[in-house]
Amino acid sequence: MAKIVNTAYGTMGDVLPYIALGQEMQARGHEVRMAIPEQMHPQAIAAGLKAVNVGHEQLNPEAARKTALLWDQWSTNPDDLEAKKELNQSHTWFDLQKGIDCLLEAAADANLIVCSPQQAIFAAIVAEQLSIPLVQVIVTPALLYQPNNWWRISQWMRQTQNKTYDRYHLLRVRQGLTDSEKWKPYWKYDRLIFVASPYLYPSPPYCFPSNQTGFWFYQDPQWLDWQPDKQLKDFMTADPKPLVLSFSSQPIRNREEFIAVHVRAAMQLGRRILIQGGWSDFNASHLPTDIDRDAVMFAGFMPQDWLFAQAAAVITHGGIGTIARALRNGCPLLLEPHTYEQCFNAQKVLTWGVGAAMYPQKLTTDGITKVLAKKVLTENYHQRAKEIKIKIDQESGIDRACNLIETWLA
């Protein structure tokens, strides 16, 4: 059996799919190490995997809230743009040499490295230096369908990661490797896995069709025996079905204003609303005083399969993980995208007819109410979401990925 290093960096949606892959590969008898951010170590350990240091400053909710402006790519306000520039110059997530050193240590006796795009530079250098194969896994569809996103992302990385791509050649030379074409290590078309349903994202460029597996769904072992408490169960199962607001790792500025327009829209529709705290730490202190607090519940991390199955609709930022979970449970969506890839996902949701999208800079109570009532909560949207649920249920994304990886190992 093989020794495999799984390395990923970023938010929960960026890392949890790789833990899911590690679980299955280890269940098949392989030895898996997870080189991931420290805040994700408990999830990896709970899954029975060894977690090691990824070598980068930890990306966490507190830091995300302090730099929330960087996560909002809509604002053209001159003051915001100047503040973004100052944040980019003052904040650095990556120590490049430390990232390479940590991955070298983790992969010293490995047979394979599996990496996310955020870790591709480090993984490419380490795989070449150790002469072991590298598999890159793409969980963000926009990277494959919108090639110019690579340019946008490289520009962002130039600003926030010590000009990573400019220093790439120097790092290779420092590690004793021959210089090569800048982009070559990142694009191994035959060893690239695309994690998305072919029913929703057919025939992407830059990826062999046989390498598209379908979605991967992380399952925390603690969820196997999980049951909602009575208060949560009563709130979610009473008629009419409630709305769920879930922004996961997307930090939101002006939390009071943001929460106010959504809870008031729910009130106008006669619906209860459950709000997951997420990285924005939404809580009761953000509620306006003129609403029925019994119709609003705040909750933390929980099995979203159960949660979304009870919901009339999910209101979210548009991360692919949340979208996939909602559709897996036949739940329509209202997307309020803040970044490039979220906007791409919003376009797809509109194309599939399973949800609507709104411009997050100009949200109003009446606007949200109208979009939910006339589109998202209608029978047509629910029916199309149920049709996609049936298709996703027929996929075995993790199994297909493991089969691919074992073929390459052989």
Domain 222-393, architecture per CATH: 3-Layer(aba) Sandwich (3.40)
Closest CA to 328 of 313, 315, 309, 312: 309
CA–CA dist 325, 311 (Å, integer): 12
CATH number of 3-80+94-215+395-409: 3.40.50.2000
Strand order of the β-sheet with 243-246 is 296-299, 273-276, 243-246, 313-316, 333-335, 355-357
Residue 50 Cα to chain centre, angstroms: 22
Specify the amino acid at residue 139.
V
Q: Which two tokens stand for residue 214?
A: 């379908």
Q: Please give the pLDDT value at position 162.
A: 43
Q: Please give the pLDDT value at position 186.
A: 46
Q: Please give the pLDDT value at position 285.
A: 96
Q: Please give the pLDDT value at position 240.
A: 97
Sequence length of the chain is 410
Do the domains spanning 3-80+94-215+395-409 and 222-393 agree at the CATH topology level?
yes
Which residues of 248-384 form beta strands (DSSP E)?
A: 273-276, 296-299, 313-316, 333-335, 355-357
Specify the amino acid at residue 187.
W
Q: Please give the pLDDT value at position 157.
A: 42
Whole-model pTM: value is 0.89
Distances (CA, A) of 380 to 329, 336, 356, 371, 385: 16, 21, 12, 14, 9
Domains of the chain, by residue range, sit at 3-80+94-215+395-409, 222-393
Distances (CA, A) of 229 to 28, 233, 234, 235, 285: 35, 6, 9, 10, 23
The runs of H, that is alpha helices, within 137-186 are 142-145, 148-160, 164-174
The pLDDT profile of the chain, 410 residues, written as one tens digit per residue, is 899 999 999 888 899 999 999 999 999 999 999 999 988 999 999 999 999 999 887 777 887 787 777 777 777 666 666 766 665 655 556 677 888 899 999 999 999 999 998 888 888 888 888 989 999 999 999 888 765 554 444 444 444 444 445 556 666 666 676 655 544 444 455 688 999 999 899 878 777 888 999 999 998 888 888 999 999 999 999 999 999 999 998 999 899 999 999 999 999 999 999 999 999 999 999 999 989 999 999 999 899 999 999 999 999 999 999 999 999 999 999 999 998 789 999 999 999 999 999 999 899 999 999 999 999 999 999 999 999 999 999 999 999 999 999 999 98
Question: Please, are residues 196 and 214 in contact by the beta-carbon 8 Å criterion?
Answer: yes
Question: Please, are residues 381 and 354 in contact by the beta-carbon 8 Å criterion?
Answer: yes
Residue entry with tokens 């970023």? 10
